[in-house]
Copies of this chain bind each other. A is one copy, B any other.
Amino acid sequence: MSNFGDGIPFKNVEFALRIALVKAEMEKREIDALLISEPSNICYLTGYEAWSFYVFQMLVVHRDLEEPVWIGRFMDAVSVRRMTYLSDQSIRPYSDDYVQSVDRDPVDFLVSQLREFCPTLRAVGVETGSFYYSGHTHVRLLSLLPDVQLKDAELLINWIRIRKSSVEIEVMREAGVIADAMIKEAVDAAEPSMRECDLAAVLYRRMISGTSEIGGVYTSSAPYVLSGTRAGEPHAPWSDRIIGTDVPVNIETAGCRRRYHSPISRTIFLGKPSDAYLKLADAVTEGIEAALEVVKPGVTCAEVEFAWRETVARHGFHKEARLGYSIGIGFPPTWGERTASLRASDLTVIDEGMAFHMMPGLWLDNTGVTITQSFVVTARGREDLTKFPRKLIVK
């Protein structure tokens, strides 16, 4: 792990192992070449983490080639050379006139390159549901590769990276340290006379500065900071409004290091909560402890969620949304891995090395409380990635 938050993040052997896992899965599915559009999957296999995904880019893993091949905009090749182990022949940039252009299509460039460097090209895997694999790209590939079978490889890599290695867990611990520092600073700073945006600014400053040992970086989603009656709006941006007195402030955010996230949510209640509100908070705390207690290798996601569901039901509450999701590397627009969810219908068996953000929260008509926990699954249970106490914060 680099001490500077830049350069190649892991040793080559770590990447070699990841690529071997992906190639084994490709073999099983009879895929010659895998086209990887999801930035988190590209990062997983190469360490590449520049913000170049707003233009067309693709990483190609071929069964018969040792290294993956990166296809992207010419100017971003500089960062690929610096951040990854790829040799020059595996870095294939297109010129700037392909960018958001009416007369040139970077998919055409990709295909001409594939024809050149791929030893065989019978079956090609594509991540059909990725944010960075558009309908246009799919249609264009179909038309340019009439002799090739396109196979749906959606989430192929995501399901591999659900199990974290020890070096990945180490980076997630660092992200957790930043997340804790963010919440601590927000609790210290929060005041009724403050605007929501000023409290959000406190969170951001710590997210980016990190600590004196561990610098921070932007998270894949913006923090949520919503106060008063707005606490019921899950994904709205903060506003310029003054927070006020006797209101909850719901904060959902994460610390991030080398694109690995450890999320955390807490409610800070400024003033005196009503008895009804305290009962809501009690249900959430009791529910999260019950659900965390169940976590260990061998249980299903559904079993974990059931412990929560049963506990809050005894208090007369119910939460429709899932209780959590798998976490790890994240790029905008999400830090979730889009694989396992903690919900009744998900029978994924929890295994050592998996990491989740368990996010219990309960909402009444115009208010809500949320207290969450990121953790990694260990041989006998779990290790919490953030250490901030799991309770309603009253100030």
For the complex with contacts A128-B135, A129-B135, 15 further pairs of A-B residues with Cβ separation under 8 Å are A5-B197, A6-B230, A75-B234, A75-B321, A97-B345, A99-B341, A128-B134, A128-B136, A129-B134, A136-B154, A138-B138, A197-B209, A201-B206, A217-B237, A333-B333
Is A279 an interface residue, CB under 8 A from the partner? no
Q: Mark A129-164, 1 if CB is under 8 A from B, else 0.
A: 111111111110000000000001010000000000
Asked if A217 contacts B197 (CB within 8 A), the reply is yes
Q: Looking at the complex, which of A48-56, A260-268, A282-290, A308-316 is the stretch in contact with chain B? A: A48-56
Q: Mark A206-243, 1 if CB is under 8 A from B, else 0.
A: 11111000111110011010000010111111111100
Query: Closest residue to A241 on the B side, CB-wise?
Result: B4
Is A96 an interface residue, CB under 8 A from the partner? yes
Is A204 an interface residue, CB under 8 A from the partner? yes
Chain B residues positioned under 8 Å from A49 (CB to CB): 236-237
Interface range for A: 35 or more
Asked if B197 contacts A204 (CB within 8 A), the reply is no
Cα distance A207–B202 in the bound complex, in angstroms: 11
Closest-CB distance, A102 to chain B (whole angstroms): 8
Near B by CB (< 8 A), chain A positions 13-69 give 49-54
Which of B83, B130, B233 sits near A78, CB closer than 8 Å?
B233
- Interfacial residues, chain A to chain B (CB-CB below 8 A): 3-6, 49-54, 74-76, 78-79, 82-83, 95-97, 99-103, 126, 128-139, 152, 154, 195-198, 200-202, 204-210, 214-218, 221-222, 224, 230, 232-241, 320-322, 325, 332-334, 336, 338-339, 341, 343, 345-346
Instruction: Indicate whether A235 sits within 8 Å of B50 (C-beta atoms), given known contacts A103-B345, A204-B201, A336-B100.
Output: yes
